[in-house]
Structure 1
Amino acid sequence: MFPTMPRHNLYKIQPLVQSLCKKHGIPYQMKTLSQSFIDIVKSLKHSGQLWEAALHAHHVS
């Protein structure tokens, strides 16, 4: 949500984000830095696989 905010300041906005999530019925998740990096790598891998599949499908046609 706040890509330019330094990680060490996230605690300042955390209560607001938690209340917004609760208000809109969105699950709020807290993760460690290492788990966040693991999730990013998994997401990038998945996106890469989708692009690879689309590229191969386009060349086969």
Structure 2
Amino acid sequence: MATIKIKQVRSAIKRPKVQKDTLVALGLKKLNQVVEHEATPSILGMVAAVRHLVEVQEN
């Protein structure tokens, strides 16, 4: 599988708890933080749920 880099570009303040929990599950705790994950269906589903808060870069 390919890896993807996920960067949090918008704040989680005033977002539903589900979206905050999704960011934490992806490993994102701070703004502009970048994490790298395998592009599995579960990770891609989490990214889709918070696509308005993150940027994705494929490697």
What's the TM-score once normalised by structure 1's chain length?
Answer: 0.22
Greater share of helix: 1
**Larger of the two Rg values belongs to structure:** 1
Higher normalized strand content (fraction of residues): 2
Normalised TM-score (structure 2): 0.23
